[in-house]
Chains A and B, each alone.
Chain A
Amino acid sequence: MSALFSPFISKPDTVSAIMLRVLLALLPGIALYVWHFGPAILVSIALASLTALGTEALMLRLRNRPVRHFLGDNSALLTGWLLALSIPPLAPWWLVVVGTAFAIAIAKHLYGGLGNNPFNPAMIGYAVLIISFPAQMTHWLTPHGLGPVEFGFLDQLKYMFAGALPPNVTLDAVTMATPLDTLKTRLHLDEPVRQILEMPIYGRLAGQGSEMVSLGFLLGGLYLLAARIITWHIPVAFLGTLFAAAGIFHLADPTHYAAPLFHWFSGAAMLGAFFILTDPVTGPTTNKGKLIFAAGAGLLTYLIRAFGSFPDGMAFATLLMNICVPLIVLYTQPAVFGKKDKRP
Chain B
Amino acid sequence: MRTLYQFHGGIHPPGNKEQSTQCGIARAPLPSKLVIPFRQHAGAAAKPVVRVGDHVLKGQLIGMPDGFISSAVHASTSGTITAIAAQPIAHPSGLPDLCATLIPDGREEWIPHAATDYRNSDPTELRRQLRMSGVVGLGGAVFPSDIKLRPGNRKIDTLILNGAECEPYITCDDMLMRERAAEIVQGAEMLRFMLEGGEVLIGIEDNKPQAIAAMRQAVAESGFSFDVVAVPTIYPGGSAKQLIRVLTGLEVPSGKLPTDIGVQCFNVATCYGAYRALAHGEPVLSRIVTITGNVRRAQNFEVLLGTPVRDLVALVEALPDTDRYLMGGPMMGLPLSSTDIPLVKASNCIIAASDRLFPPAPPALPCIRCMRCAEACPADLQPMDLFWFSQSKEFDKAQQFSLFDCIECGACSYVCPSHIPLVQYFQFAKSEIRAREHDQQAADHARERHEFREYRFEREKQEKAEKLAAREQAAKQVPAASANPADAMQQKIQAAIARAREQAAASQPKNTDHLTAQQQAEIAEIEARRAHIHELAKSADEPPDDHGESHS
Contacts and interface: CB of A to CB of B under 8 A. Distances in A.
B417 A13 contact: yes
11 contacts: A2-B355, A3-B360, A6-B332, A7-B330, A15-B418, A17-B417, A64-B549, A64-B551, A69-B544, A285-B385, A286-B382
Contact of B332 (A4, A7, A63, A73): A7
Contacts of A114: 365-366, 368, 545
Q: Which of A69, A70, A280 has the most CB of B within 10 A?
A: A280
Given A65-B544, A114-B545, A337-B8, A281 B419 contact: no
Contact of A15 (B323, B328, B368): B368
A339 B254 contact: yes
Given A13-B372, A64-B550, A75-B368, 16 more contacts: A9-B14, A9-B414, A10-B361, A11-B417, A64-B549, A65-B545, A66-B544, A70-B544, A73-B365, A113-B366, A115-B367, A280-B368, A285-B382, A285-B384, A334-B382, A336-B402
A258 B256 CA distance: 57
B371 interface: yes
B515 interface: no
Interface residues of B, number: 70
B281 interface: no
B347 interface: no
A329 B168 CA distance: 34
B28 to A, nearest CB: 25
A7 B413 contact: yes
A65 B11 CA distance: 33
A338 B251 contact: yes
A339 B333 CA distance: 28
B241 A11 contact: no
Overall SS of chain A's interface: loop
B333 A8 contact: yes
B458 to A, nearest CB: 46
Contacts of A13: 372, 415, 417
Contacts of B385: 285, 329
B416 A69 contact: no
A337 B324 contact: no
Contacts of B416: 10
Interface of B: 7-8, 11, 13-14, 168, 241, 245, 251-256, 323-324, 326, 328, 330-335, 353, 355, 358, 360-363, 365-372, 374, 378-382, 384-385, 400-402, 405, 410, 413-419, 421, 423-424, 536, 544-545, 548-552
A1 B358 CA distance: 11
A283 interface: yes
A10 B358 CA distance: 9
Contacts of B372: 13
A15 B545 contact: no
List the 9 shortest-distance A-B pairs measured between CB atoms, nearest first: A115-B366, A338-B254, A7-B410, A280-B370, A8-B358, A337-B379, A8-B330, A336-B402, A7-B331
A3 B421 CA distance: 10
A336 B254 contact: yes
Contacts of A63: 549
Interface of A: 1-11, 13-15, 17-18, 63-66, 69-70, 73, 75, 112-116, 231, 280-281, 283, 285-286, 329, 333-340, 344
A207 B552 CA distance: 53
Given A15-B418, A286-B374, A337-B8, A6 B330 contact: yes
B358 A2 contact: yes
Contacts of B548: 64
Contacts of B360: 1-3
A11 B415 CA distance: 5
A113 B545 contact: yes
A85 B459 CA distance: 84
Contact of A14 (B332, B414, B417): B417
A281 B369 contact: yes
A9 B15 CA distance: 11
Contacts of A334: 8, 374, 380, 382
B414 A337 contact: no
Given A2-B358, A116-B366, A8 B545 contact: no
A15 to B, nearest CB: 5
Q: Which of A8, A112, A334 has the most CB of B within 10 A?
A: A8
B236 to A, nearest CB: 11
A55 B268 CA distance: 59
Contact of B371 (A15, A115, A285): A285
Contacts of B11: 11
B251 A337 contact: yes
Contacts of B400: 344
Contacts of B7: 337
Contacts of A337: 7-8, 241, 245, 251, 254, 378-381, 405
A69 B551 contact: no
A14 B168 CA distance: 22
A59 B522 CA distance: 46
Contacts of A1: 360
Q: Which of A286, A329, A338 has the most CB of B within 10 A?
A: A338
A116 B421 CA distance: 18
Nearest to A2: B360
A286 B410 CA distance: 20
Contacts of A3: 358, 360-361, 421
B13 A9 contact: yes
A29 to B, nearest CB: 22
Given A5-B424, A337-B251, A338-B253, A64 B552 contact: yes
Nearest to B529: A5
A333 B382 contact: yes
B334 A336 contact: no
B410 A6 contact: yes
B118 to A, nearest CB: 34
Contacts of B335: 4-5
Contacts of A15: 365, 368, 417-418
A14 B401 CA distance: 27
A114 B168 CA distance: 33
Contacts of A4: 335, 536
A274 to B, nearest CB: 15
A14 B419 contact: yes
A13 B416 CA distance: 8
A95 B378 CA distance: 48
Nearest to A287: B371
Contacts of B423: 5-7
Nearest to B384: A285
Contacts of A113: 366, 545
A2 B400 CA distance: 33
Contacts of A69: 363, 365, 544
A66 to B, nearest CB: 6
Contacts of B544: 65-66, 69-70
B252 A338 contact: yes
A3 B382 CA distance: 24
Contacts of B545: 65, 112-116
Given A15-B368, A73-B365, A339 B401 contact: no
Contacts of A6: 326, 328, 330-334, 410, 423
A57 to B, nearest CB: 15
B326 to A, nearest CB: 7
Contacts of A339: 253-254, 402, 405
Contacts of B358: 2-3, 8-9
Contacts of A333: 382, 401
A336 B378 CA distance: 9
A4 B379 CA distance: 24
Nearest to B261: A338
Q: Which of A7, A113, A280, A285 has the most CB of B within 10 A?
A: A7
Contacts of A75: 368
A163 to B, nearest CB: 39
Contacts of B380: 334-337
